[in-house]
Structure 1
Amino acid sequence: MQEDTGRKSPKYPLSIRILHWLRAVIILGLIWSGWYMTSLPDSTPIAKFEFFYPNHKQFGVLAWLLAVLHLLIRWQKRRVLPQTPDGLTGWERMLSHAVHRLIMTLTLLIPIFGYSMSSSFTQSDGVPFFFFGHLPELLPKNDEAFALFQALHEYGAYLLLALIVLHVAGAAKHRLQDKGGETDVLSRML
């Protein structure tokens, strides 16, 4: 498939489709692991503090990097991206754009809140990133700032999950009601 011909395509470029699904898996895994690890008792320090927390942090950084890469590729390939279907009603078009923009915004902000939370926590052991070691902690240790970033990280994740459910519901609605029609946009991302 040609990715940059200067013409609109019925599908998203392969690079964007791969990033979309990879980010979806990572983000859903992060939301699940966030719930699970915070529910673990402190009496399970190996599972909680040596497995889940470090992996949640490093996959959060990865999710942020993939979101930045996704935005860069979208900008680079903006001339060939499929347009919003004309068959959508005004409110569907508005909701679709808002949900997509909010999902992208939150996939950038939530990891920053998580990093800020870890960086400002007085007992933090830092933010690891796979084989690259720990990221520098740029914020001063401050448990009040930690509490703010913790709330932003947590509530942002709940909002992101709600938007993901709305996104999936919209794609499913158009898939089931408009299969093969102009507003059946799921095939663009497959």
Structure 2
Amino acid sequence: MALESDMKAMMNQTNQEDVDRYPASLRILHWVRAILILGLLWAGWHMTGLDDEVASKFEVYYPWHKSFGLLAILVALVQITVRLRTPRLPQPPQTLARYEQVLSRFVHRGMYTLLVIVPLMGYSMSSTFTLSDGVFFFGVNIPELLPKNDNWFVVFQWLHKVLAYTLLGLIVLHVVGAIKHRLFDRDPRSDVLRRML
């Protein structure tokens, strides 16, 4: 009887651990997307600081930034689709304070929204800029759907920059929160990082 009780407890713990961890597909997409976004943020910051006379600015940085930007939006859309189709996802730990749960939900929704909007603003910049040589996706020319208009280009450029920095701010909050829960919270059940490892 005690053996049967122990077996049930072990099975419940295993099932709980499965629910508390994201599926492998979402964990892989999370880390691939993280590397892409951090690389794009660095490249965007670096390339815009280069003088226009630097050949690599327009021959290397901009084309690759555009290609990886389109890849980032595709990865984000796949991740969102997988999340919506996954019936059992981990819920926020009950050990978190109410404000932490609300902040976490806000940060996640904000990041997912900006992961789609920021690349779209970049695409809109290239599409409307009269001197743009097009939007390439690793050598494939993507149709420019918006009419050429430098006034709109300025608007999209501003939105792309401001929203990219907003995304960076949310990423910092996300990382700080994960570190806080892992290293400083007293209850080990608050460690949300293990769900993505």
Q: What TM-score do you get using the length of structure 2 for normalisation?
A: 0.89
Q: Which residue of 1 is the match for residue 112 of structure 2?
A: 104
One-letter amino acid of the structure 1 residue matched with residue 35 of structure 2: V
> What is the DSSP-based 3-state SS (H/G/I as helix, E as strand, rest coil) of the residue aligned with 1:145?
helix
> What is the DSSP-based 3-state SS (H/G/I as helix, E as strand, rest coil) of the residue aligned with 2:19?
coil
Residues 1:93 and 2:139 are matched in the alignment: no
Match of 2:33 among 13, 20, 23: 23
Q: What TM-score do you get using the length of structure 1 for normalisation?
A: 0.92
Q: Which residue of 2 is the match for residue 181 of structure 1?
A: 188
Post-superposition Cα deviations, 1:23-80, rounded to whole Å, max 9, x if no partner, equal 00000000000011111111112x1101000000010000000000001100111x22
Match of 1:54 among 43, 63, 69: 63
Contact 1:8–1:81 (CA under 8 A) maintained in structure 2: no
Q: Which residue of 1 is the match for residue 89 of structure 2?
A: 81
Percent identity over paired residues: 54
CA distance in 2: counterparts of 1:37 and 1:180, whole angstroms: 44
How many residues align? The count is 182
CA distance in 1: counterparts of 2:126 and 2:115, whole angstroms: 17
Residues 1:66 and 2:66 are matched in the alignment: no
Q: Which residue of 1 is the match for residue 53 of structure 2?
A: 43
One-letter amino acid of the structure 2 residue matched with residue 135 of structure 1: I
Q: Which consecutive unaligned segments of at least 5 residues does structure 1 have?
A: none
1:178 offset after TM fit, Å?
2.9
One-letter amino acid of the structure 2 residue matched with residue 65 of structure 1: L
Larger Cα Rg: Structure 1 or Structure 2?
A: 2
CA distance in 2: counterparts of 1:73 and 1:166, whole angstroms: 24
> What is the DSSP-based 3-state SS (H/G/I as helix, E as strand, rest coil) of the residue aligned with 2:20?
coil
1:130 offset after TM fit, Å?
1.1
CA distance in 1: counterparts of 2:189 and 2:132, whole angstroms: 51
CA distance in 2: counterparts of 1:161 and 1:118, whole angstroms: 22
The equivalences for 1:106-121 within 5 A come to: 106-121=114-129
The change in CA–CA distance for 1:129 and 1:179 in structure 2 (over 3 A counts) is farther
> What is the DSSP-based 3-state SS (H/G/I as helix, E as strand, rest coil) of the residue aligned with 1:182?
helix
Give the root-mean-square deviation of aligned CA atoms: 1.5
1:9 offset after TM fit, Å?
1.1
1:97 offset after TM fit, Å?
0.1
Q: Which residue of 1 is the match for residue 10 of structure 2?
A: none
Post-superposition Cα deviations, 1:113-153, rounded to whole Å, max 9, x if no partner, equal 0000000000001110014x111000000001000000000
Structure richer in helix, relative to its length: 2
CA distance in 1: counterparts of 2:182 and 2:97, whole angstroms: 16
> What is the DSSP-based 3-state SS (H/G/I as helix, E as strand, rest coil) of the residue aligned with 1:128?
strand
Q: Which residue of 2 is the match for residue 145 of structure 1?
A: 152
> What is the DSSP-based 3-state SS (H/G/I as helix, E as strand, rest coil) of the residue aligned with 2:189?
coil
Residues 1:159 and 2:166 are matched in the alignment: yes
1:8 offset after TM fit, Å?
6.3
CA distance in 1: counterparts of 2:106 and 2:128, whole angstroms: 31
CA distance in 2: counterparts of 1:82 and 1:8, whole angstroms: 9
1:89 offset after TM fit, Å?
1.0
One-letter amino acid of the structure 1 residue matched with residue 148 of structure 2: K
